[in-house]
Structure 1
Amino acid sequence: MGAFEMRPVTRRTLMAGSLALGVSGTVGACSNEGRGGGGGGNDEASRSTVRPAYVRYTGVEPDLPGAEFNIPDAFRRYPADPVKAIEEPPGDGKPIQAMTYTNTPIPPKLEQNAFWQEFNKMAGSPVSVNLTPSVDYTQKFATAVAGDRLGDIFMVGGVPQVPQLLASKAVDLTPHLSGDNIKKYPFLANLPEVCWNGCIFDGKIYAVPIPRGAISSQVLYSREDILEKQGLKAEVKSADDFLELCKGLTDRRLNRFALAASPTQYVRNMFDIPNAWSEDGEKLVSSLEHPAQEEALGVIQKLWKAGYIHPDAFSGQNQDLKTRFSNGSSPLVQDTFSAWPTYLQTMVDKQGRIAIVPPPKHDGSGPGRTWLGAPAIGVTAISKKAEARVETLLKYLNFLAAPFGTQEYLFRKFGRQGVHHNVVDGNPVLNEKGFSETQLGLSYQADAPWTIFLPEREGSSEAEYNAMKATCPTAIASPAAGLYSETNVRKGPQLTEDIDGIVEDIIQGRKPVSAWAGAVKKWKSGGGDKIAEELAQALKASR
């Protein structure tokens, strides 16, 4: 098999978990809370013939293997002589239009972007990218659908009737990707089997997943260097212990607040609150109904009243909390494991050190449990208007999924040596030009399985690997991972907004903790119970 290793296809693993404060489950394929639902794709015979084969890439040996712990492999060094994975450019010379979102600043235009120009040469086609900030993407996607202006390839947004939309607007990829057919695109075959959950509807494959998995689990980061100066450690044994840590880190004279934003999920992890849903026989019960929710909200309310949470926590943008952590004005922040490289790159104090604070049980009786991240962050479909070029576009997506250790991955992530990155201790490290120009949203079109590789600072790969190893094996998965609910797509965003509003009101003291029960009752009658019913039906059908 060379650099690839066949692995048997197993029953779909339930890995994902919502990271939202309120409603979780399906909000559309963009958030990967939508396993292919309904129809023939859910019976065992259909799944065994439709689901793509998994052929694991083994071309590079990890320094720290992660499979045993359900975490990514980790690497200390990029191979000195990376292999060329793709002999011919995947493009056909004609333009490729991609539509997706971004979580970073918009890059320079093609004319001023050396990386983009070189990328087009490697792709074999001029690639144009319609980028939208992630928070605005669903609205932009809905507008594009209504105006019939989807790109040749597009990340699917959280709009109603996703199965019907894909059947109408996207190419049926089943003949190209089902079973062993996917071996023509070996780097798509290298994507973990569970990632395909949100791509299969009614027995047909309509999209390619963008893998993430455990790396998208949310944890509490700490500025270990600041804690050390205060004589504190990045570990707590109980909820009271956590309050004391936050007290020790808060200093109004220095305009420093312990927490960059509300640590809502982190505190919930202290109380073993389920990851979005839990099973009760054949029913699904929302974690919003868990009896410990009020006690958890009470703890966060104390943090706010004491002034340990940044006063702009509920009024700023997502980037603001990252800035507070990076400049040290808030030494604690809740974020995903995937944010680790961004914090290293943006740290104001280049000697600043990162650590993870695992959640304890609230009562000090042992370790808490975090929520396991989703197996994929989205799916990318190919427009029916581009059906005549489907093989070219699949080759392009396969090119974007070339794994760690290849020349293609090195260029995609780090650009050209001396232009976009410098070699430090044998490793590529992005410079300012590279960080700016490479942000084309490529990893939100298609991507290789995530790897832990942090060349910015010696020892960082081991640090993140060990943090994930200590947290992820016991993380709580959601039984609703990959399930599709039409009611959740239609009503979920508003229900989530309402619940999150109550959470904010309680935390900031505008409403008492007792207001939670009424809010959950309203959520249930307003569509929550229907969502639970639809997800339970989808779960039963998928087994």
Structure 2
Amino acid sequence: MDNTIDRRALFRGALGVAAASLLTACGGGGGPSSGGVSNAGKQLVPWPAYVPFAGPTPDAPGDDTGVQNLYLKYPETLVQSVGDTVGDGSRVTALVVTYGPPPAPVTRNRYWQAVNKALNVDLQVTVVPDPEYGQKMTTLMASGSDLPDIIMFTNLALPHSLEFIQAQCADLSEFVGGDAVKQYPNLANIPPYAWKGMGRVNGRLYGIPLERPTPANSLFVNRTAMDEAGIPKTWTTEQYLEAMKELSTGRKWGVGWYKTLFGGLGGVTYHAGSLGAPNGWSLSNGQFATTLATPQFEEALGVMRKLVEARSAHPDGLTVSSTDMQTYFHNGTVASVQDGFGAMALTTLTKIDKRFALDLGYPYGPAATPWQGPGIFGYVTFKKAAPERIKLLLRISDYLSAPFGTKEYELANYGVEGVHFTKENGGIETLDLYQSENNNTLPFRYIGTAPSVIYLPGYPETAQAVHDWQKATLPGSVPNPGNGLRSATSVSKGAQLNQIMGDGIAAVVFGREPLSAWKDTVTQWRNAGGDQVAEELATEHAATQ
């Protein structure tokens, strides 16, 4: 069997989110020389006030390290978080990304109809498949006309996106800055790290963050296969390598990766964090230093090289789509794959269908620094309009951001009781219609989303395992200090810097160059603009303190 993998494909898939997090500030955009979107020297609108929702009592509480509240049962009593009428019966258009199949039209979609009725608007949602999203957004921004009312931006760095937002989208500062956000209680419940992960533009607030928990994309593992092979939950570097090799027999492999922005080869982020590398950048005395130059990152490349040499990864991983590789994980063909927390309940557990137990892979290094995510998946912006129209759009986002334990959350996440789900045995039991009408096929969660908790209907053991994993790993996790900051060079030269980094990783991982050659790659990366990015991030950081 030919286990050769194209080196260019490694860059596209194995680097994954590492390339974005190492080189670009959250949301893309420029610095002082790119249209005035930098925050340096600007008067800063205060971050929105934080008024947390008390919520139902969890079975195990979260904490300030990022551990989420754990719920093993669904709340018996729900509260109403939105008391006033949301909409005015008007038509509202929205554009969002999707990672699932397209939804049925509103005329045949009872979930869509129910949400529209609750919002009292005719909400028309255009869903853009992930592979087409970048081009669609580039075309939309270039046209600057006939914009939808609501535009969702993912964490994908889109050149000139912040200039577009500043020119074409509503400045929300007066509506959500400081105590003003209290007019929208569910938006006030969004934690501060999400607002900061989104960042300001020219000192102002232009979006509503779509919160994600502190852990970055994580390593999903087939716990059943690992238990059968006698592989423990915690492991050393050598034990991890041996485990992946042991699971790679016949038509099965230990590692699955795919060519997508997020993930691949267990994720460079997983390996770098396992071995103690800083998350993208380190910050000391106001100065930024790249993780690429650390011995820990170089060691992570060595582990990746050993995985390839041992043929522990699926040989077709970088020629298939993320959907196909996730299917290989769901059916047991690969024993581990990187994915986001948001995929756990809605897609992964459903598609595994209890064929095996799902778990999360623990970091393997002796001094691990698991990498935290930016705290958001993206953010929503609104087309410029009269204040009353902006308030309407904010009320829509506020409704869809209602927290766990509310009636609004139940509708947005599970649909209509008796149609899409029932409540049995202390939990949510989804019905057949939910498989085609849900918040994945029609992602209202990309217009507004609740701060996440750990609740996995029908899978209390997995929920407990996730909570245990968070308690064990998050105290040592580290954020990227560049989150929410702006850098002109990371936008103008990001593709070139990514090329240098990707080619260097490919050369080392696939044995064309010795591990020692990585230092030359780092020098080339620095000279091509990496050091300039560091300087711009330092300027931004100083301005936003």
Give the TM-score taking structure 1 as reference length. 0.88
2:280 matched to 1:245?
A: no
Q: Per the alignment, in what secondary structure is the counterpart of residue 24 of structure 1?
A: helix
Distance apart, 1:23 and its partner CA: 4.9
Q: What amino acid is the match of 2:394?
A: L
1:353 and 1:539 map into 2 onto residues whose CA distance is: 43
Q: Deviations over 1:321-358 (max 9, x none)?
A: 3212211111122333333223211105x241122231
Which residue number corresponds to residue 350 of structure 2?
Answer: 345
Structure 2 CA distance for partners of 1:427 and 1:478, relative to 1, 3 Å: same
Structure 2 CA distance for partners of 1:159 and 1:228, relative to 1, 3 Å: closer
- 1:24 aligned residue (11, 21, 25): 21
1:494 and 1:388 map into 2 onto residues whose CA distance is: 44
Contact 2:29–2:486 (Cα < 8 Å) also in 1 = no
2:73 and 2:526 map into 1 onto residues whose CA distance is: 51
1:155 and 1:421 map into 2 onto residues whose CA distance is: 28
Contact 1:19–1:218 (Cα < 8 Å) also in 2 = no
Which residue number corresponds to residue 306 of structure 2?
Answer: 302
Q: Deviations over 1:91-125 (max 9, x none)?
A: 11111111121222222222221111111111111
Q: What amino acid is the match of 2:468?
A: N
1:19 and 1:282 map into 2 onto residues whose CA distance is: 28
Residue ranges of structure 1 left out of the alignment (5+ in a row): 1-17
Which residue number corresponds to residue 282 of structure 1?
Answer: 286
Structure 2 CA distance for partners of 1:164 and 1:454, relative to 1, 3 Å: same
1:33 and 1:357 map into 2 onto residues whose CA distance is: 36
Distance apart, 1:317 and its partner CA: 1.9
1:221 and 1:536 map into 2 onto residues whose CA distance is: 35
2:86 matched to 1:62?
A: no
1:524 and 1:73 map into 2 onto residues whose CA distance is: 42
Within a 5 Å distance, the mapping from 1:73-84 to structure 2 comes to: 73-84=69-80
Deviates more, 1:101-110 or 1:389-398: 101-110
1:489 and 1:470 map into 2 onto residues whose CA distance is: 36
Within a 5 Å distance, the mapping from 1:250-265 to structure 2 comes to: 250-252=248-250, 255-261=251-257, 262-263=265-266, 264-265=268-269
- 2:120 aligned residue (121, 124, 130): 124
Which residue number corresponds to residue 14 of structure 1?
Answer: none
Distance apart, 1:436 and its partner CA: 2.2
Contact 2:287–2:535 (Cα < 8 Å) also in 1 = yes
Contact 1:30–1:377 (Cα < 8 Å) also in 2 = no
1:371 and 1:30 map into 2 onto residues whose CA distance is: 18
1:443 and 1:491 map into 2 onto residues whose CA distance is: 32
Contact 2:29–2:158 (Cα < 8 Å) also in 1 = no
Within a 5 Å distance, the mapping from 1:193-272 to structure 2 comes to: 193-197=192-196, 198-215=198-215, 217-236=216-235, 238-252=236-250, 255-261=251-257, 262-263=265-266, 264-272=268-276
Q: What amino acid is the match of 2:129?
A: P
Structure 2 CA distance for partners of 1:315 and 1:521, relative to 1, 3 Å: farther
Which residue number corresponds to residue 540 of structure 1?
Answer: 542
Q: What amino acid is the match of 1:239?
A: T
Contact 1:219–1:358 (Cα < 8 Å) also in 2 = no
Which residue number corresponds to residue 168 of structure 1?
Answer: 167
Distance apart, 1:498 and its partner CA: 4.3
Structure 2 CA distance for partners of 1:447 and 1:332, relative to 1, 3 Å: same
Deviates more, 1:404-413 or 1:272-281: 272-281
1:448 and 1:52 map into 2 onto residues whose CA distance is: 16
- 1:360 aligned residue (353, 360, 364): 364
Q: Deviations over 1:247-285 (max 9, x none)?
A: 221112xx0011112123222223211100012433211
- 1:151 aligned residue (148, 151, 154): 148
Q: Per the alignment, in what secondary structure is the counterpart of residue 98 of structure 1?
A: strand
1:497 and 1:413 map into 2 onto residues whose CA distance is: 39
Distance apart, 1:387 and its partner CA: 5.1
Distance apart, 1:389 and its partner CA: 0.7
Contact 1:301–1:507 (Cα < 8 Å) also in 2 = yes
Q: What amino acid is the match of 2:58?
A: P
1:295 and 1:56 map into 2 onto residues whose CA distance is: 41
Q: What amino acid is the match of 1:21?
A: A
Distance apart, 1:75 and its partner CA: 1.2
Structure 2 CA distance for partners of 1:199 and 1:379, relative to 1, 3 Å: farther
Which residue number corresponds to residue 334 of structure 1?
Answer: 338
2:237 and 2:199 map into 1 onto residues whose CA distance is: 40
Within a 5 Å distance, the mapping from 1:425-504 to structure 2 comes to: 425-438=425-438, 439-504=441-506
Contact 2:96–2:152 (Cα < 8 Å) also in 1 = yes
Q: Deviations over 1:499-518 (max 9, x none)?
A: 23442343234544344333
2:315 matched to 1:317?
A: no
2:239 and 2:403 map into 1 onto residues whose CA distance is: 42
Distance apart, 1:33 and its partner CA: 12
Deviates more, 1:155-164 or 1:435-444: 155-164
Which residue number corresponds to residue 109 of structure 1?
Answer: 105
Deviates more, 1:393-402 or 1:64-73: 64-73
Contact 2:92–2:122 (Cα < 8 Å) also in 1 = yes
2:41 and 2:543 map into 1 onto residues whose CA distance is: 10
Residue ranges of structure 2 left out of the alignment (5+ in a row): 1-14, 32-36, 258-264
Deviates more, 1:174-183 or 1:427-436: 427-436
